[in-house]
Amino acid sequence: MNDRNPLIVLALICATVASFLWGGYHALMPLLFLSGLSLVSVICLWSSSYIDTRSLATLAIVSMALAAVDEYAHTSSGAFSYFDGMTPSPLAVFGWSLFVLGIVATAQYLHQRMPLERLDTRASRILLALTPVTLLIVSAWVQGYLPFFDPLLISVYLFLTSASLYHSYHHRFGWCMWVVISSMIFGTIMEYLGGVEGLWVYPFDEPMAFFIVFTWALRVLTVLAVSSLLGVEVRGE
């Protein structure tokens, strides 16, 4: 293990905490959200022992870059808004890096124990990436969020879909399946906790928009795809 890895993760944690305080989120006393964030941080610190520094740094940087664009597109469209009123919120930008690292570490752990190799075909890989896209569109339509999909947000989703298809097609089904499952589990928990405790607000006053859960699967696959194109391959093996 490179001794710099825990320092990188600690720097990301500090940046996230600083954004939390700067945005005034502490006034909400979101204990459940902070508990979830603490768990993710612990997972990131633990996983830093099993990843090289270049991969760790690349995943973090790509996550924050994608977060800046993705979160701006969602907040500027009115799909949801953050407590601090920023577009995007620094909490989301820095928080993404921890979130993605935690999801990838969890997916690696699960894939090593249940690789699902028998299900690996070209067709299953493509279907895996298209499933969250389909569910995203359906859930956004059912809850009435499709009108918020302006040209910028549609462009972001087209990019997320293309990158997810690319990564899923070129990597084993089992690995991508655990990435998708881990993304949706973490996404459901953190999005719900943040919504319930008021860190972000949806226009229809529900605690969570279901399409965001499926968005997280595409987000993490996209981070992995971009990192791969930059020469950093993160796999479950």
> pTM for this structure?
0.96
Q: Alpha-carbon distance 111 to 133, whole Å?
A: 22
Q: What pLDDT does residue 116 have?
A: 87
In this structure, which long-range contacts are made by residues 132-139, counting pairs with CB atoms below 8 Å and at least 24 apart in sequence?
132/164, 132/180, 132/184, 132/214, 132/215, 132/217, 132/218, 133/157, 133/161, 133/164, 133/214, 133/218, 135/214, 136/211, 136/214, 136/215, 136/218, 137/211, 139/209, 139/210, 139/211, 139/213, 139/214
Report yes or no: 120 and 184 within 8 Å, Cβ to Cβ: no
Q: Which two tokens stand for residue 184?
A: 């949706």
Q: What pLDDT does residue 18 have?
A: 98
Q: What pLDDT does residue 3 have?
A: 76
One-character DSSP codes across 11-80: HHHHHHHHHHHHTTGGGG--HHHHHHHHHHHHHHHHHGGGS-HHHHHHHHHHHHHHHHHHHHHHHHHTS-
Q: Alpha-carbon distance 67 to 50, whole Å?
A: 24
pLDDT in tens, the chain (237 residues): 567 899 999 999 999 999 999 999 999 999 999 999 999 999 999 998 888 999 999 999 999 999 999 999 999 999 999 999 999 999 999 999 999 999 999 999 999 999 888 888 999 999 999 999 999 999 999 999 999 999 999 999 999 999 999 999 999 999 999 999 999 999 999 999 999 999 999 998 888 999 999 999 999 999 999 999 999 998 766
Chain-centroid distance of CA 34 in Å reads: 17
E-assigned strand segments in the chain: 81-82, 200-201
Report yes or no: 230 and 62 within 8 Å, Cβ to Cβ: yes
Q: What pLDDT does residue 43 have?
A: 95
Kindly give the interhelix angle for 90-113 and 210-229, rounded to the nearest 10 degrees: 80
Q: What pLDDT does residue 1 have?
A: 53
